[in-house]
Every structure is written in structure tokens, then in C-alpha cells.
Amino acid sequence: MIFSLEMSRTGWFADTSDESPNGYPWQPCLQLDLHCVSFDTWFATRNECEKWIKDEILGKGLYYE
């Protein structure tokens, strides 16, 4: 991924990595204003990864203690 200070969009997306486990190239990532966080959760397809983001991240509410 190329990093640019002009990036202003934030949010979740599915991306691939050369460091992925064999057969599972897709991982969820979170783009913030000046930082991109990738998570050590892997999927075989982009659709599976995006579904996980929608169901397990975006579909969950904030946990209040």
C-alpha cells in the first residue's frame, strides 16, 4: 500500500498481503487519517473478508462497561 499524507478517507476495507497464510490472502484493514491498521485475520476471498467486516465490525455496537 502506498501511503500519502493527502489520504483523507477513513474506514474499513479488504486488502491482500504478501505475508498471508497460504490460500488466505485477504485481511481486514482500517484506514485512519495518518495510519493504516491491518488485522491478523485472514480470508480466502475478498467477499468473505468484506462480509466479516460488515457482520463482525460494522454490525456491532459499541460495548459499554
What pLDDT is stored for residue 38 in this prediction?
93
Cell 467486516 belongs to residue: 53
Across residues 8-16, what is the average pLDDT? 90
Please indicate, yes or no, if residue 3 is contained in any of the structural domains. no
2 is a domain residue: no
| Average pLDDT of every residue of the chain | 87
What pLDDT score was predicted for residue 7? 54
On whether residue 50 sits in a domain, the answer given is yes
Task: Indicate whether 10 pLDDT > 80.
Answer: yes
Average pLDDT over residues 36-63: 92
Does a structural domain hold residue 47? yes
Domain carrying residue 22: 11-58
Instruction: Say if residues 26 and 16 touch (Cβ distance below 8 Å).
Output: yes
- Tell me, yes or no, whether 6 lies in a domain: no
Number of domains in the chain: 1
Rounded to whole angstroms, how far apart are CA atoms 56 and 1?
24
Give residue 33's pLDDT: 87
